Amino acid sequence: MPQLKQLARQIFHETLAAIDIPATMQRKLRRKGTLLVCGETRIDLRDFEKLRVVAIGKAAHAMVEGLALVLAPFVRFGGVVSAPTAARKPLAGMKYFVAAHPVPNAESWKAAEAILALLKKCDEKTLVFFLLSGGASALVELPLDPAQTLEDVQNMHRALVTCGAPIEAINTVRKHISAVKGGRLAAAANSATKITLAVSDVPVGKESALASGPTLPDPTTVADAKRVFAEHSLYGTFPPSLRRWLDEGKMPETPKAAASAFRNSHFLLLLGLDDLFHPAHHAAEAKGFIACCDNATDDWPVKKAAEYLLAQLEELRRTHAGQRVALIADGELSSPVTGDGIGGRNSAFVLACVEKIAGKKIAVLSVGTDGIDGNSPAAGAVADGETLELARAIGLDPADAFRRSDAFAFFLRFEDVIVTGPTGNNLRDLRILIAEP
């Protein structure tokens, strides 16, 4: 069965190699002279005196590199980049910030101030490219309430990411208490022409949740944010300054679709769900698996998703008796932090599968395509039908590790953690479940 774990790893690494951002940008953005074609949008660069770029997210550096390749050698631009890692090839004219995720740091705050200062100077003769990818909600942050400190903002983010709420609900709250989310960056460059290019880690049709929607109309409301507070008992976990601001009724509504900021605003999805499924499906089939894709478990609790996906895998085995089968799933699961261990939702998902696949010719892998899983140094983990027996032999209990949110330490004992380092990408989490007859 160790061979199955290795095959799952290979499928993941081949998928990761296939979602190359600079190559995708050169394929989906076409420039002929001064004419730039972005999906259905056609822009003549001669109509603008200034070209500005705001790149935020785990894929920010790769997206800036891709845009530079599309526009070179005729167009120069300036702007701001905020990412969790330093740039290997900084571009002249760009200001770089090494910010933090999932909790903002001082650089996240400084990046937000720099972006708002940049956008304030943009007029109708300015073309602004917003390059957005996952993680941006923490990598650029500034509160609407000037009384709040960086420590207040950090405590608020910690409360949100550990409360167990779906990412869409978390972002609903973020949008309504931030000066840079929920369409407010578009409003800051009100009269400029704006093009948002996205590498999305959110479900199709919910693009305004990506990076908490800084450049898109916000379909959520103040009432929605208050409902999230109540449903997840968040109010009492917020810092006192934020609670005072909320009590005073100062939370304003976010910009909606009719706002003037969106009249000259365009959106193009560069990479999304299909761009993750297709190469994973192809890689699995190339290794002799009959593969099926399933995105039904997005936002599900980890244990419920494990039960459902393993049942789907067993159904595949019955349908294709005697053959190798693979189930490819994506999306972000809900995994509340219940202990002080090391790990994240991906390794927690694999841990939830360990007892269920014991003794079976099955391997389960779950990873973040950004290379980061919670507070661990890994992207995720992999297990097979022998993992439970090996764990018990050395006195490890997967259920106990799950309760302590310590999945990384559990899998580290077997060298079954998957470590990539930051990948410079950030689509959705990827789960690969494979089985032999």
Q: What is the pLDDT of residues 404-424, one digit of tens each?
A: 999 999 999 999 999 998 888
- Report helix, strand or coil for 119: helix
The segments of the chain whose pLDDT lies below 70 read: 1, 203-204
* Cα–Cα distance measured from residue 410 to residue 391, given in angstroms and rounded to the nearest whole number: 8
* Cα–Cα distance measured from residue 338 to residue 403, given in angstroms and rounded to the nearest whole number: 6
* Token couple for 185: 């960056």
Beta strands in 331-375 (DSSP E): 362-368
- Judged on CB neighbours under 10 Å (0-12, 13-18, 19+), 322 is exposed
Domain extents for the chain?
Answer: 2-9+274-435, 33-271
Q: What is the pLDDT of residues 245-275, one digit of tens each?
A: 999 998 999 999 999 999 999 999 888 777 8
Domains 2-9+274-435 and 33-271 in one fold: no
- Domain 33-271 bears CATH identifier 3.40.50.720: no
* Cα–Cα distance measured from residue 30 to residue 42, given in angstroms and rounded to the nearest whole number: 10
pLDDT at 300: 92
Write the CATH number of the domain with boundaries 2-9+274-435.
3.40.1480.10
pLDDT at 385: 97
* Cα–Cα distance measured from residue 19 to residue 124, given in angstroms and rounded to the nearest whole number: 35
Q: What's the distance, Cα to Cα, between the start and end of the chain in Å?
A: 12
How much is the pTM? 0.80
